Amino acid sequence: MDRDCLDLYTLMSALSQGVSEMFPRRLWVKAEVGQISMPATGHCYLELVQNSSKNTVAKARAVIWRTKYALIMPFFEAVTGSALKAGMQVLLRVQVTFSEMYGATLVVDQIDPEYTIGQKELERIQTIKRLTEEGLIEKQKDLALERLPYHFAVISSETAAGYGDFIRHLTENPYGFVFKTDLYNAAMQGDDCPPSVVSAINAVVASGIQYDAVLLLRGGGSEMDLCCFDDYKMASAIANCPLPVLTAIGHDRDFHVADMVAFESVKTPTALADFFVSIYKAEDDMLLALDRRISGALSGRISSMEGKLESVIQRIMNVCFLKIEKASGSISLLESRIKSADPREIIRRGYTLATDSSGVVLKSAEGIEVGDSLSVRFFDGVVDCNVKLKRK
C-alpha cells in the first residue's frame, strides 16, 4: 500500500532545522550532573538530568569541547573548590544543537560556579530547618563530658593529614599527659562520606566500650569537598549518639551542620588536641595551686602550734620553778626542824644525855638503883659514873 512517508535523514534534517530556528541563541539551563566522562580526546561528555521527588523526569546529552573545557574548569574549580562531578547542581550556558547522526546535544560554553555553591547552601538551610523541627540541633548539648576525658573513639581516615596531626599533637604534648584513642576508619569526603561516618558512629555505639567521647576529624579542604558534612543523615546520627561527639572538620572559615549538632566543635584537629590537653593542664594547675595552699596552711598551722607549744612549755617551766622553790622552802624548813630535833644540838645547848650500861637512853630516874653504872654524854665528851645516891 502506498503511504506518504519521509526517510530518516529528511526527518532528522527537519528536526535539526527546527531546533536551530527555535533556539537560535545560547540559553542558561539548570540541571544535575548525572554522569561525566573524560576520554583521551580531552572533551568532556555529560549526562544532565532533572529529578522529581520520585524519579527522573528529563535527560539530555551535553558536551564541553576541549578548548572550552580548558577555560571553564580552572575558573569553576577555583570558585567552588571542587572539580565538576556527578550529583552537582549546575547552571550552564548551552547552545542547543540537533544532529542527524547523534540527535540533540547541548554544547556547553560556560558554567556559573556561584549557582552550584548557592544550591548547596539552600540544601544546607533546609537540613538545618529539618533538624531544628525534629529537636536535634541541641540534643548533644544535654550530654556531659567527663571531667578528665581519656579514652576516645576517633572517626577519620587513617591516611588523613588531619588525623595524623591530631595524634601527634595529643600524644606528644609537652606535659606528658597520656590519652587512649581507637580509630574507626571512614571516608572523609565525597558521596561516600555521610554513610561511612554514620556506619562508624553505629560501630562505636555497638562496640559496648565506654568511650569518654567520639571525635570526628577531617582537617580542612575546599568548600565543595566539605559540603558532605552538611548531610542530614550524618547530622542526625551525630545528634542521636549517646556519647558526646566533638568535631574538627575544617579551617576557620568553615562551619558545617555536623558542627552545629555536635556537643562541641573546634576548627582544626590540632585545636581539638589542644582542647583536651588544656583540660588536663587546668586540672594540673588547680592541683598545684591546691598543693601550695595546703602547704602554706600547714606551714602557718605548724608555726602557730610551735608558738603555742613554746608558750605552754614556758608556763610549765614557770609552774615547775614555783613548785621547786616551794619544795625547796619546805625542805629547808624540814631540815631546820630535823636539825633542831637532833640530840647533839640539844646537848650543845648545855643539856646532857644519860644512858644505862646497855646504852639505852634514860628518860626517868625510875628503875635506876644505887650502884648502877651510867654514862653521861656532854657536847664535848662522855663521863662514865656509878650511882651513889638516888633522890626524888
Of 2-6, 20-24, 114-118, 222-226, highest mean pLDDT: 20-24
d(CA 54, CA 59): 15
Q: Which of 49-58, 75-84, 178-187, 245-254 has the highest mean pLDDT?
A: 178-187
Q: Is 209 in contact with 105 (CB distance < 8 Å)?
A: no
Q: Percent of the chain scored above 90 by pLDDT? A: 46
Identify the top-confidence range among 25-29, 112-116, 216-220, 330-334: 25-29
Q: Is the pLDDT of residue 27 over 90?
A: yes
148/279 Cα distance (integer angstroms):
7
Q: Is 167 left (phi over 0), alpha (psi -120 to 50) or beta?
A: alpha
pLDDT for position 225: 65
The yes-or-no verdict on residue 347 having pLDDT over 90 is no
334 pLDDT higher than 60? yes
- Give the mean pLDDT of 2-30: 87
- What was the pLDDT predicted at 332? 83
Say if residues 139 and 235 touch (Cβ distance below 8 Å): no
Kindly state the average pLDDT of the residues 327-352: 80
Lowest mean pLDDT among 97-101, 137-141, 195-199, 274-278: 97-101
220 band by pLDDT with thresholds 50, 70 and 90: low
Query: How does pLDDT run across 303-325, given as a tens digit for each residue?
Result: 888 888 888 888 898 888 888 88
d(CA 331, CA 326): 9
CA distance 213 to 179: 12
Where does the pLDDT of residue 73 fall: very low under 50, low under 70, confident under 90, or very high at 90 and above?
Answer: very high
